[in-house]
A and B are shown apart, each in its own frame.
Chain A
Amino acid sequence: MRILIIEDDIEAAGAMKHGLTEAGYDCTHAADGEAGLAIAREGGFDVLIVDRMMPKMDGIQLVTTLRREGDATPVLFLSALGEVDDRITGLKAGGDDYLVKPYAFAELTARVEALSRRRETGAVATTLKVGDLEMNLISRSVHRQGQEIDLQPREFQLLEFMMRHAGQSVTRTMLLEKVWEYHFDPQTNVIDVHISRLRSKIDKGFDRAMLQTVRGAGYRLDP
């Protein structure tokens, strides 16, 4: 997996590169918007991490240009601007996800992972299958080892998201953003309780637990 980091803060970019390389990604760094655009045009990247505010060319302009040229590489915006409108501006310009600085590193890797794998599941599926867990998106039913599991609507949405990102770490913030569509951080870990409810439904009584807690990051659904 190749990642292009376009970020003018050399130190932050260095830490990011170090961490992502450690996580198994092949990283390239560009220190300003123009250089970033030139490297991105060469292509071959799986994810672009783009800072919103940079000298010479800002992130919005860069991504707008790439999208106009037909480049659909997933873009993760990084920004110190966290207001609702800033997020909307970023996503409208063609960004696929938006992370507000400062962020936990686990949050960054989880989102990069989600973006880098997104392309592989392009086709519209009516059923999802992870290990012995099966989800029918039309009849909205879930089975594990042929046994029907009764889920509340929100639990269904939660499991759907986890199944679509099976094998990947998913953070609490991501769940809150994608499943509940809230962009704030609840003071207590309300998400944990929802996950443990879901876990008791899909894992209880089976020999192997699928829904794992990833320390310091979030959760992962293993096949």
Chain B
Amino acid sequence: MRLPRLFRTTTFRLMLVFLALFEAAAAAFLAYIYISTAGEVRLRSERLITKEMHSLEAVYEQGGVNSLNQAIIERTASDRPFLYLLLSPKGTKISGSIAQSPIDDFNGDKEWKKFNVTETDPDGAEVQKGARGLQERLKSGEMLFIGADEGESESYVHKIVRALWGAEVLVVILGLGGGILVSRNVSRSMQGLNDLVAAVRTGDIRARAKVRGTRDEIDELAEGLNDMLDRLEHSMGGLRHAGDAIAHDLRSPLTRLRARLEVALIDVEAGKGDPKQGLIQAVEDADGVLRTFNAVLAIARLQAAGQVPDPKEFDPGALALDVAELYEPLCEEKGLDFKSEVTPGLKARGNREFVAQALANLIDNAIKYTPEGGAVMLRMRRRSSGEIEFSVTDTGPGVPDEDLARVVQRFVRLENSRNQPGAGLGLSLVVAVAEAHGGRLELAEGPGKIGEFGPGLRVALVLPAG
């Protein structure tokens, strides 16, 4: 049989363990109190009995058995808290307050004995009380027994023990009750998370855990799960979008490629014309398809990993100059004024190769869209926030405000750029690189309208502070 869910929870089990530990400690405590109290009570009555015995023995030493008998009769009559019994050497009673000794087979000189006495309390009920007694043999052979009941102190100990047991029971009840409450509470919170997991498992990637605002570990877990699902949904959305986009962007060049090959084949079969030109173009088409495919793959991998591979510390200024050096001749050839402005000696952390590629893409875009006579500027500086900023500013036509957010999406190419080569993946890759470094991409208007140039575009790749 399976236990109800509540009793199978971790909280409840933990609570049981603690309860058991607490109970064990309480039991040990109780035993200690009992042993020490009871021991104290016994010692005290033994001391009193021994003292009385000494006093009566002194009487015996002075006046013999008769004086002792006299003293016992006197003491029995007075209201002393002792029981007395004087026995002849043969064991018959001479005098005393009890009829016979609790010790049946007395052989030695001295013997302690624990026994019970029956008393009648004021209500007439009979009460059994514990008692202790000492019997000694006198020099002349008679035996003297002195006893005392432990009643008062014994019942005191009993009371304490009862109270402790009561406390124990109370602890168990409170512990169990509290445990059930606490574990029900925790289970309820966990149930929310379990429901979420179940929902996601059945395919509802949009489900989110409720954050109760208590800032406890369950809230933290819920937030963590939500964050994880956000990322997952984002990258799944990205993949879906990429899938659609790949299908769209690869289908047309593949169709073109196929047509070219087919035409070349027809030409060869008909024995007319040179198929070489068609084949050369087919190879170029295939290269284009591969480039698109590689770019999509690189973006998807970065987004899926959520971080760049093999991050290392590097000098962002040196990197910027390196890329600038690579592109400067191209700018010159296109009749563009190229400048770079770099803060030396800074440090950044990331994958140098990916940052270089992102930067190359930005400059590449700037060169592609800026008409002859324009300018391209590369800057690298540290912002006051400590972030590392690489920015590329051009004096091209820029991007209308309403399109700024759109251009960073995959495969988005604005209408006026349709005649330029490229798959529209350059900026998407830069965004992926920025995000994988924990940074971002910022787009803004360039230097503004100057004659036939501008307003231009300023794209900044911002990496977190090194």
Segment from B145-153, B325-333, B383-391, B411-419 that makes contact with A: B325-333
Contact between chains at A187 and B364 (CB < 8 Å): yes
Give the residue of A187, A197, A216 whose beta carbon is less than 8 angstroms from that of B361.
Answer: A187
| Interchain CA distance A121-B138 in the complex, whole Å | 126
Contact between chains at A190 and B330 (CB < 8 Å): yes
- With both beta carbons as reference points, the residue of chain B lying nearest to A82 in the complex is identified as B294
Contact between chains at A193 and B351 (CB < 8 Å): no
Task: Among B360, B367, B422, find the residue whose CB has the most chain A CB atoms closer than 10 A.
Answer: B360
Contact between chains at A193 and B333 (CB < 8 Å): yes
- With both beta carbons as reference points, the residue of chain B lying nearest to A182 in the complex is identified as B356
Q: Is B291 an interface residue (CB 8 A)?
A: yes
Q: Is B9 an interface residue (CB 8 A)?
A: no
Contact between chains at A83 and B301 (CB < 8 Å): yes
Shortest CB–CB separation between residue B294 and chain A, in angstroms? 7
Shortest CB–CB separation between residue A193 and chain B, in angstroms? 4
Q: Is B287 an interface residue (CB 8 A)?
A: yes
Task: Among A82, A84, A197, find the residue whose CB has the most chain B CB atoms closer than 10 A.
Answer: A84
Q: Is B368 an interface residue (CB 8 A)?
A: yes
Contact between chains at A84 and B309 (CB < 8 Å): yes
Binary A-proximity of B308-350 (CB < 8 A = 1, otherwise 0): 0110000000000010011101101100000000000000000
Q: Is B290 an interface residue (CB 8 A)?
A: yes
Using Cβ atoms and an 8 Å threshold, which residues of chain A touch B351?
84
Tell me the count of chain B residues lying within 8 A, CB to CB, of chain A: 29
Using Cβ atoms and an 8 Å threshold, which residues of chain A touch B291?
185, 187
| Given A84-B309, A84-B353, A104-B287; A187-B330 close (CB under 8 Å) | no
Using Cβ atoms and an 8 Å threshold, which residues of chain B touch A154?
325
| Interchain CA distance A188-B368 in the complex, whole Å | 9
Contact between chains at A184 and B360 (CB < 8 Å): yes
Shortest CB–CB separation between residue A165 and chain B, in angstroms? 20
| Interchain CA distance A187-B421 in the complex, whole Å | 9
Q: Is B397 an interface residue (CB 8 A)?
A: no
Q: Is B179 an interface residue (CB 8 A)?
A: no
- With both beta carbons as reference points, the residue of chain A lying nearest to B290 in the complex is identified as A102
Using Cβ atoms and an 8 Å threshold, which residues of chain A touch B455?
none
Q: Is A92 an interface residue (CB 8 A)?
A: no
| Interchain CA distance A85-B351 in the complex, whole Å | 12
Give the residue of A82, A84, A182, A187 whose beta carbon is less than 8 angstroms from that of B310.
Answer: A84
Give the residue of B309, B322, B332, B422 whose beta carbon is less than 8 angstroms from that of A187.
Answer: B422
| Interchain CA distance A194-B333 in the complex, whole Å | 10
Q: Is A183 an interface residue (CB 8 A)?
A: yes
Q: Is B357 an interface residue (CB 8 A)?
A: yes
Tell me the count of chain A residues lying within 8 A, CB to CB, of chain B: 21
Give the residue of B333, B357, B361 whose beta carbon is less than 8 angstroms from that of A182.
Answer: B357
- With both beta carbons as reference points, the residue of chain B lying nearest to A197 in the complex is identified as B329
| Interchain CA distance A183-B309 in the complex, whole Å | 14
Q: Is B374 an interface residue (CB 8 A)?
A: no
Within 75-110 of A, Cβ neighbours of B (below 8 Å) are at 82-85, 102, 104
Contact between chains at A85 and B309 (CB < 8 Å): yes
Shortest CB–CB separation between residue A1 and chain B, in angstroms? 25
Using Cβ atoms and an 8 Å threshold, which residues of chain B touch A197?
329
- With both beta carbons as reference points, the residue of chain A lying nearest to B425 in the complex is identified as A187
Q: Is B446 an interface residue (CB 8 A)?
A: no
Shortest CB–CB separation between residue A74 and chain B, in angstroms? 25
Give the residue of A83, A84, A85, A187 whose beta carbon is less than 8 angstroms from that of B426.
Answer: A187
| Interchain CA distance A133-B361 in the complex, whole Å | 36
| Interchain CA distance A154-B422 in the complex, whole Å | 28
- With both beta carbons as reference points, the residue of chain B lying nearest to A190 in the complex is identified as B330
Using Cβ atoms and an 8 Å threshold, which residues of chain B touch A196?
329, 333
Contact between chains at B364 and A186 (CB < 8 Å): yes
Contact between chains at B294 and A188 (CB < 8 Å): no
Contact between chains at B327 and A183 (CB < 8 Å): no
Contact between chains at B287 and A83 (CB < 8 Å): no
Task: Among B301, B322, B327, B330, find the residue whose CB has the most chain A CB atoms closer than 10 A.
Answer: B330
Using Cβ atoms and an 8 Å threshold, which residues of chain A touch B310?
84-85
Shortest CB–CB separation between residue A99 and chain B, in angstroms? 13
| Interchain CA distance A182-B325 in the complex, whole Å | 13
Using Cβ atoms and an 8 Å threshold, which residues of chain A touch B364?
186-188
Binary B-proximity of A165-188 (CB < 8 A = 1, otherwise 0): 000000000000000101111111
| Interchain CA distance A144-B421 in the complex, whole Å | 39
A-B interface, 10 closest residue pairs, ranked by CB to CB distance from nearest: A193-B329, A184-B357, A193-B330, A187-B364, A190-B330, A193-B333, A186-B360, A197-B329, A84-B309, A190-B326
Can you add 5 more A-B contacts, CB < 8 Å, to A104-B283, A190-B327, A193-B330? A82-B294, A154-B325, A182-B360, A183-B353, A184-B356
